[in-house]
């Protein structure tokens, strides 16, 4: 049962006391239409937020590359990728100068992140403030906190860990939690439907889901414990484990009980894995959202037992949405929906440049951005880089599914076109981005020929996210105001009476303020 916090409707005159804990939940790849579609079946945490919170229905990421790292960097900084410097996904946090603790894997840090975030403003006002950030993914844990060396953990192959950017060893509470070996012990367990089968209107047997394998319930984890721990991140239980880890961390770190306001950031990764594999119209995503609702309910209950409901401020949003499988779109009559894979084109240009200027990946292409990091070296060898890029642009325009190809410098500042605006918010002038490519609606970037659903476009499908504020001092209601994810941090700054340390791209959503 979720306690009904009727006291939330506070009188308008008195400023609300500061919360002891600010909880920011980012659900990776949560489209807001899921909350409408499954609304009657949501009974717990999501239902509480929807019923008692300030619910914004028209909130969009206002940058072009709607990927995990740029999205997470935006939410608590109040600034677009053009200003945070986090413009790519994996490369947004990968850092070969640091390493993980206790496990092998790619090191990660906020080295590319520029500027400050909400936690820095909180720390400036309350030097004793602490932050804990946890996620299934490195970028989901690192980027909500910015550059601060706080408690930041993510999941790698069965355990939560961090990188040497943050610490030299794992604290006892993390080692004890990992010692439970929950993901390893899940070997051979099944993911079954949460509700009776008749409660799921969507078809289960859809042969293009999950790369054509294991696309019907129940889904079973491998019987080998190591393999199970790797696959665990894509199961609903992973979100439950992440929330349990977050709760354990708040206890061990004594968050919210030392007279300051502390920050807990939780990024829940499972919805993204399931959305990529099975798509936004699948029975699997439906079941995942129902389970997420129940996990969040239990999580909130335990926070309320510890802190009292009136001492917790909750925000829920997402780092991006997702576009349906092209197969699904074509079945609905959108015959032009395709996966666009420019790999062969880029490889052939790189091969030609290698022959003239020596071996290197001269052109780098990722999620619609063409970068030429070695431009100066190519030019020094007498290569006309502008003409190479112009040729690549011509060839990209010929690919089925490509809508437009622009040079960032040609994107007009005063354009009323949302695509142009989102690209301008995406690309820092010094990032070396030479071309930006936008696909036609419902087409997606192909990833290594994997037949998955994708996000990453400057479209409303990928940019539209939920946004709910919940807690004392928040004016509950449903708001249809068009807002952006860069508005979240300035709104929290107002609610917490903090001063941002630099100019922000967003504005406070004054609708929610008392």
Using CB under 5 A as the binding rule, the residues of this chain from 51 to 90 that contact Zn ion are 68
Residue 254 class from Cβ within 10 Å (0-12 exposed, 13-18 middle, 19+ buried)?
exposed
Cβ closest to Zn ion, residue 28 vs residue 505 = 28
Q: How far is the CB of 18 from Zn ion (least distance, A)?
A: 30
Q: How far is the CB of 455 from Zn ion (least distance, A)?
A: 7
For the window 199-238, what string marks contact with Zn ion as x by the rule CB under 5 A?
----------------------------------------
What DSSP string runs through 85-150? ---SSGGGTB-TTS-BSSS-S--B-STT--S--HHHHHHHH-TT--EEEEESSHHHHHTTTTT---
- Structural contact between residues 458 and 422, judged by C-beta atoms closer than 8 angstroms: yes
Q: How far is the CB of 363 from Zn ion (least distance, A)?
A: 25
Q: How far is the CB of 409 from Zn ion (least distance, A)?
A: 29
Spatial distance between the Cα atoms of 21 and 281, rounded to a whole number of angstroms: 35
- Using CB under 5 A as the binding rule, whether residue 319 contacts Zn ion is answered as yes
> H or E element: which one contains 181?
none
Spatial distance between the Cα atoms of 160 and 269, rounded to a whole number of angstroms: 13
Q: How far is the CB of 305 from Zn ion (least distance, A)?
A: 31
Find the part of the chain contacting Zn ion (CB under 5 A) among 24-32, 90-98, 247-255, 484-492: 24-32
Cβ closest to Zn ion, residue 90 vs residue 173 = 90
- Taking alpha carbons only, the member of 331, 315, 332, 215 closest to residue 274 is 215
- Structural contact between residues 342 and 397, judged by C-beta atoms closer than 8 angstroms: no
Cβ closest to Zn ion, residue 57 vs residue 135 = 135
Q: How far is the CB of 234 from Zn ion (least distance, A)?
A: 13
- Taking alpha carbons only, the member of 335, 437, 481 closest to residue 64 is 437
Q: Are strands 54-60 and 131-135 parallel, antiparallel or unpaired?
A: unpaired
Cβ closest to Zn ion, residue 68 vs residue 94 = 68
Find the part of the chain contacting Zn ion (CB under 5 A) among 193-201, 227-235, 318-326, 368-376: 318-326
Q: How far is the CB of 139 from Zn ion (least distance, A)?
A: 8
For the window 112-151, what string marks contact with Zn ion as x by the rule CB under 5 A?
----------------------------------------
Find the part of the chain contacting Zn ion (CB under 5 A) among 124-132, 277-285, 313-321, 416-424: 313-321
> H or E element: which one contains 302?
helix 283-307
Cβ closest to Zn ion, residue 26 vs residue 237 = 26
Cβ closest to Zn ion, residue 262 vs residue 319 = 319
Using CB under 5 A as the binding rule, the residues of this chain from 257 to 296 that contact Zn ion are 272
**28, 62, 281, 284: which one contacts Zn ion (CB under 5 A)?**
28
Spatial distance between the Cα atoms of 379 and 361, rounded to a whole number of angstroms: 15
3-state helix, strand, coil in the chain (%, to 5): 40, 20, 45
Q: Which residue ranges make up the site for Zn ion (CB under 5 A)? A: 28, 68, 272, 319
């Amino acid at each position: 049962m979720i306690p009904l916090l009727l006291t939330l409707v506070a009188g308008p005159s008195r400023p609300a006391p500061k919360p002891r804990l600010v909880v920011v939940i980012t659900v990776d790849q949560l489209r807001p239409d899921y909350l409408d579609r499954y609304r009657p079946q949501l009974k717990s945490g999501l239902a509480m937020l929807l019923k008692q919170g300030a619910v914004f229905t028209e909130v969009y990421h206002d940058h072009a590359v709607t990927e995990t790292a740029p999205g997470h960097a935006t939410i608590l900084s109040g600034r677009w990728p053009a200003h945070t410097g986090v413009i790519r996904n994996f490369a947004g946090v990968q850092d070969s100068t640091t390493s993980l603790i206790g496990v092998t894997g790619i090191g990660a840090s906020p080295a590319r992140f520029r500027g400050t975030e909400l936690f820095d403003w909180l720390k400036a006002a309350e030097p004793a403030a602490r932050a804990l950030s946890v996620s299934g993914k490195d970028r989901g844990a690192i980027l909500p906190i910015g550059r601060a060396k706080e408690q930041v953990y993510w999941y790698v192959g069965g355990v939560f860990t961090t990188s040497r950017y943050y610490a030299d060893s794992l604290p006892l509470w993390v080692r004890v939690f990992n010692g439970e070996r929950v993901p390893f012990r899940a070997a051979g367990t099944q993911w079954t439907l949460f509700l009776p089968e008749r409660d799921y209107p969507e078809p289960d047997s859809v042969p293009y889901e999950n790369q054509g394998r294991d696309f019907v319930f129940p889904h079973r984890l491998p019987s080998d414990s190591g393999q199970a721990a790797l696959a665990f991140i894509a199961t609903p239980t992973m979100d439950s484990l992440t929330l349990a880890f977050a709760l354990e961390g708040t206890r061990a770190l004594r968050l919210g009980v030392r007279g300051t306001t502390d920050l807990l950031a939780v990024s829940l990764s499972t919805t993204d894995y399931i959305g990529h594999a099975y798509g936004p119209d699948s029975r699997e995503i439906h079941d995942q959202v129902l389970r997420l609702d129940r996990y969040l309910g239990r999580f909130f209950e335990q926070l309320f037992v510890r802190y009292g409901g009136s001492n917790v401020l909750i925000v829920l949003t997402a780092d991006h949405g997702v576009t349906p499988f092209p197969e699904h779109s074509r079945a609905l009559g959108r015959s032009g929906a395709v996966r666009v894979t420019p790999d062969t084109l880029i490889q052939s240009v790189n091969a030609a440049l290698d022959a003239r200027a020596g071996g290197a990946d001269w052109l780098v292409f990722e999620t619609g951005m063409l970068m030429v990091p070695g431009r100066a070296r190519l030019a020094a060898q007498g290569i006309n880089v502008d003409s190479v890029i112009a040729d690549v642009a011509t060839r990209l325009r010929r690919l089925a599914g490509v809508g437009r190809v622009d040079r960032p410098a040609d994107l007009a500042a005063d354009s009323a076109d949302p695509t142009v605006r989102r690209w301008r918010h995406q690309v820092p002038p010094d990032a070396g981005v030479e071309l930006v490519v936008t696909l036609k609606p419902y087409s997606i970037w192909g990833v290594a020929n994997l037949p998955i659903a994708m996000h990453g476009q400057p479209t409303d499908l990928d940019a539209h996210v939920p946004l709910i504020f919940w807690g004392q001092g928040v004016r509950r209601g449903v708001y249809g105001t068009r807002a952006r994810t860069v508005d979240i941090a300035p709104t929290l700054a107002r609610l917490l009476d903090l001063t941002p340390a630099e100019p922000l791209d967003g504005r406070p959503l004054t609708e929610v303020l008392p």
